[in-house]
Amino acid sequence: MRILRTIGGESGFSVLSLCYLLTVFCLTIRAVDGKRKKGPKGAVEETEAIERLSKVFGIEHAPQNNVGATPPQFMLELFNDITDAGGLIKKDGPYNASTVVSFPDRAYKNAQHFFYNVSMHETENLLESEFHVFRMSPKSNHSRHTAPHGRLSHLIEIKVFQVLDPDNMFSDNGRLLVDHKRVSTHARGWVIFNVTRSVREWAAGTRINHGFLVISQTLNGNELGEDEVRFAQRKSHHDTKQPILVVYTNDGRHRTPHYISPDDQ
């Protein structure tokens, strides 16, 4: 199984890169052990470590380093979940995917609009796709999450729409409901939505990719503003909490996991 993260360029095209994730693992291990080295010798050792880790993913050569940001928290947790301390892939990945790719947000309209430049190889079979957003603490303690009979509600509803028309996305004609979740009024953390249908349409070219629109409402249908419900935004919050699109695919090829001993130096 390969775990990749996309590094979006200024040209708008996404470049899939393994080196970033592998490099972070090397740096993390060295920092924890208190043995992080600097200079030419340290660089050589880091390169060798990346080459060893690349065996876990079944690639022959690790790409050049790209360490401009922190990889998504979800990708780090996924790596730790499916591998043991020695680098052995101990269980199948989600949905039995052979490849997991995360796309960074490239929103350009407003804080509620999230856009992902999705690219897939023609041989890849899309299994599932998830939209991950991190809910931050509200700016205001004021609450108007009232239930139908005036009682205080402990739930709000977060809806994800596929944008059909960017210039008309706040009307029903310019968007299509994809998924929705009811969450606690005061909950903080990740909210995950299934957006497989939208990504499948974008990959097949049956609909134009205009991204997603996120709307938060009371159970009465009253829209909530950023003072009450807000999400981590690209370039505005910590890298590990950036909104991401995660795509699970299978290319049909069989891969044999490569074991790396914890004592391997």
Domain borders along the chain are 2-250
How far apart CA 157 and CA 159 sit, in angstroms, is: 6
The mean pLDDT value for 48-57 works out to 55
Mean pLDDT of the chain: 74
For residue range 98-138, list pLDDT tens digits in order.
Answer: 888 888 888 666 788 999 988 887 788 999 999 999 998 87
What is the value of pTM for the model shown? 0.70
pLDDT of 150 reads: 45
Q: Please write the tens of the pLDDT for every residue from 53-95.
A: 555 555 555 545 444 456 788 888 888 888 877 667 777 778 8
Mean pLDDT of 206-229: 90
Q: Which of 17-21, 82-86, 155-159 has the lowest mean pLDDT?
A: 17-21
Residue 39: what pLDDT?
A: 58
pLDDT interval class at 201 (50, 70, 90): very high
End-to-end CA distance of the chain: 23
Residue showing tokens 């999450």: 145
> Per-residue pLDDT for 229 more than 90?
no
Q: What band does 241 get if pLDDT is binned at 50, 70 and 90?
A: confident
**Rounded average pLDDT over 20-28:** 40
How far is residue 86's CA from residue 227's CA, in Å, rounded to a whole number? Answer: 45
Distances (CA, A) of 13 to 10, 16, 103, 116, 118: 8, 10, 11, 10, 9
Chain centroid offset of residue 194 CA: 12
Q: In the numeric block, which tokens belong to residue 257?
A: 């996991």
Top-confidence residue, 153 or 249: 249
Supply the pLDDT for residue 99: 86
* 3-class secondary-structure state, position 115: coil
Average pLDDT over residues 167-188: 93
